[in-house]
Structure 1
Amino acid sequence: DDVSSKQLRDDLMTMLIAGHETSAAVLTWTFYLLSQEPSVVCKLQNEVDSVLGDRFPTIEDMKKLKYTTRVINESLRLYPQPPVLIRRSLEDDILGKYPIKRGEDIFISIWNLHRCPKHWEDADKFNPERWPLDGPNPNETNQNFSYLPFGGGPRKCVGDMFASYETVVAVAMLVQRFNFEMALEAPRVEMTTGATIHTTKGLKMRVTRRIKPPILPELEMPVLNVNSVGLAEVEPEL
């Protein structure tokens, strides 16, 4: 369908401005979660090193950074941005056993949905491997609407793919070069909820540059065929 200039402008404003705080919050909570799970960090860095080496990521790398994507998926499950979706009824309807009148607002708690033990095993545990790496990326459809980080339906977030690529690239480039751990003097991480879920007092971390072993070039060495030379034929050097 044709998109009007006004709709295109509004969508870009939503993606660039409304998406700024949400992406920042996703990255903050992702690194907090990673700081609690060194084994996940190890797997994450191994994948990034294998796929990227020392270069910048490209669009072709997105399909290969599967574990990195799962880390973001799981971070969004535990700390969805925003934690609540609001939808307004366009006409009278019945939702389950509840009558909904035209013009009424419906609040959907994504936070509670994403941590509901009815839908998730070990619901409060950070586990990127709850989704198989060889399976599809989790979304509202293949998760039967129990996973809604970007909403769903006709009014699903217009910037979902942009946000996904942005956060995957950011995490990959950061863990490629640095190690992250909570600073010794860091205050206890507490949560403040508004339009997004963010840390009350920021996130104080100790960042150190990664020291990776040098890559040794393969040297072509001459091969001596000892079977082709008899010992009696070798003249000693004086």
Structure 2
Amino acid sequence: EPRHAGQGGDRGCGHGTGRPLTQRDPMSSRRIGDLDRRSSTAGQEHGVVSPESLFPPSPTPAQAQEEIDRVLGASPHPDLAQYQQLRYLQRCVAESMRLYPHPPVLLRRALVPDELPGGYKVPKGQDVMISVYNIHHSPAVWDEPEAFRPDRFPLDAPPPTEQNTDYRYIPFSGGPRKCVGDQFAMMEAVSALAVVLRRFTFYPKPGHEVGMTTGATIHTQNGLYMGVGLRQG
């Protein structure tokens, strides 16, 4: 059964055109299924947290666990309302995606001729690679860019994935072509961490070199081996 972007006031973006969809642009059930599978893949790939967010003696794990204990109470896992209250844990995930964005590079195609800073001319139809990793690690836009600091995203501000109008933080891209699975991925990662961290504390394996390799996404070279301790109380 055909669907139409625009029903109910929603407007998507025409694939590869940069323009909004209209009532005349049908979205088939197959297309909707493709988007659903893509968002599921995005959720799996984005469910990543840096080791710094799990390992003591950093105050990060204890602060996250205190928030989880307070918000969840006796609940075995967070519901939507509780997820929205896990603001510090959301910042931990957001900071992890700043350090290790998935994907580390975005590909865009110029719709019109343009000239970039430095005098680089981009003809219409030219593919342009955008290094998300370099933007996220640039000292020109971030203080201590190599440090894991969830507090760089204020708790009283909107979630960082929802306010990227300056395009310095783009783990899910931005604008009309922003990842369709961003909210799903965040909810999945935060909820999974909440369930795990409320019961366990994680420790790095001494001498283990994790390493990093990149492709379509970022992966560890040697795996991420950790010790696990059952929390007391």
Question: Smaller-chain TM-score range?
Answer: 0.7 to 0.9
What aligned pairs does 1:109-148 form with structure 2 within 5 A after superposition?
109-139=131-161, 141-142=163-164, 144-148=166-170
1:93: how far off? Answer: 2.8
35-44 or 124-133: which moved more?
A: 35-44
Task: Determine the structure 2 residue equivalent to 1:53.
Answer: 73
Q: Distance between the aligned counterparts of 2:111 and 2:61, measured in 1?
A: 46
TM-score (normalised: structure 2): 0.82
TM-score by length of 1: 0.81
Q: How much does 1:170 deviate?
A: 0.9
| Residue equivalent to 1:81 | 102
| Large movers: runs of 4+ above 3 Å | 139-143
Decide whether the 8 Å contact of 1:140 with 1:152 is kept in 2. Answer: no
Does the CA-based 8 Å contact 1:140-1:146 persist in structure 2? no
Q: Which runs of 5+ in 1 are unaligned?
A: 213-238
Q: Of the two, which has the highest radius of gyration?
A: 1
Give the superposition deviation at 1:18.
4.6
8 Å CA contact 1:11, 1:158 repeated in 2: yes
Structure with more of its chain in helix, by fraction = 1
Question: Take 1:16 and 1:59, find their aligned partners in 2: how far apart are those partners?
Answer: 18
- Which range is displaced more, 97-106 or 73-82? 97-106
Amino acid in structure 1 at the alignment position of 2:188: E
Residues 87-117 of structure 1: per-residue CA shift (max 9 Å, x gap)? 1123333334322112211011111101111
Q: CA RMSD in A?
A: 1.8
Secondary structure, in 3 states, of the residue corresponding to 1:8?
helix
Aligned residues: 207
Deviations 1:4-28 (A, max 9, x none): 32321221121123543x134x14x
Q: Is residue 93 of structure 2 the alignment partner of residue 72 of structure 1?
A: yes
Following superposition, the deviation at residue 140 of structure 1 comes to: 6.9
Question: Which stretch shows the higher mean deviation, 136-145 or 73-82?
Answer: 136-145
